[in-house]
Amino acid sequence: MNLYQQRASNMRRTWALIVGFLVVVIAVGYAISWYYHDISILLIAIVLAVGTNFYAYWASDKLVLSLNKARPATREEFFDFYTVTENLAITAGLPKPKLYVIDDAAPNAFATGRDEAHAVVCATTGLLFIMSRVELEGVIAHELSHVKNKDILLMTVAVVLAGFVALIANIFLRVSFWGGGRRDNDRGNNGLLIVLAVVGIVLAPLAAKLIELAISRRREYLADESGALLTRYPEGLASALEKIGAYTAPMRSANLATAHLFIGDPFGSKEGSGKGLPTGRQGPGAWIGRFFSTHPPIADRINALLSKQTS
């Protein structure tokens, strides 16, 4: 699949998430409404489903920036950040995104927004301080690739909807325990409903989170590749990733809800530094860690970049 096909695929997945979310929430609302003989539950489900999708599309970038305590970056204070982004945006054929910074020593960055015209690129002050210009170009090219590949809308929608699924599962469990059901004398049915509710509250948020993580890991490799094509210098991004991987302390504002948006794990690298690492995590439980990780291993990403450059 080439880059153009991937962009089209991201848009299809975004709309599939939105439509699928609407269908599932309304179907669950209908089932609960039927069980309790209360049409208002279905109406509430419809309003919540539509409202959540509307918020996910129009305003979730503001929530992401707020959760990470980001502030607007000024050209005077962050001149290289501005000029590198402006130059690469022109090269990529994109409008210049809004620029934000997070006051944090941990080197990291992310992109958010609903489309190319409303994109935001945010970097930590730690990243802007330790990166050379070519390394900064690699990082910004990576983030602009998320914008151009339409990752930012897909991932923003995914995180909001995954969080809402967890909320609905929790509400459903509480209603199941507190409510009497449509057949108060049918203990077997009520007991079955409670069992299904318990299973649902465990599996629904987990399934939503796994979908979110799988999308996140896949898109990082694509953004690395696209960013290297944009700068024509994969070594710059590889070197930047090595520095990010060498920093093991977490960000002060690290948040599970937005961790997958960052170029590196905001909770700190679990790998240590750089190119000398064995590929990926080692040990008996390695596959479990990789499966639940928000990011592919830094060493794997560096190797992928450098192998494409030599091939």
The residues carrying an active-site annotation are: 143
Question: Is 146 part of any known ligand binding site?
Answer: yes
String of DSSP letters for the chain: --HHHHHHHHHHHHHHHHHHHHHHHHHHHHHHHHHHT-HHHHHHHHHHHHHHHHHHHHTHHHHHHHHTTEEEPPTTT-HHHHHHHHHHHHHHT-PPPEEEEE--SS--EEEE-SSGGG-EEEEEHHHHHH--HHHHHHHHHHHHHHHHTTHHHHHHHHHHHHHHHHHHHHHHHHHHHH---S-TT-HHHHHHHHHHHHHHHHHHHHHHHHHHHHHHHHHHHHHHHHHHHHHT-HHHHHHHHHHHHH--SPPTT--TTTGGGBSS-TT--SS-SSTTSPSS--STTHHHHHHT-SS--HHHHHHHHHHHHH-
- The reply to whether 142 sits in an annotated binding site is yes
- Give the burial class of 187: count Cβ atoms within 10 A of its Cβ; 0-12 exposed, 13-18 middle, 19 or more buried: exposed
Answer yes or no: is 86 a known binding residue: no
Among all chains, which residue has been given the structure tokens 């170009």?
137
Q: How far apart are CA 287 and CA 284, in angstroms?
A: 8
User: Which residue numbers belong to the known binding site?
Assistant: 142, 146, 220
User: Which residue numbers belong to the known binding site for Zn(2+)?
Assistant: 142, 146, 220
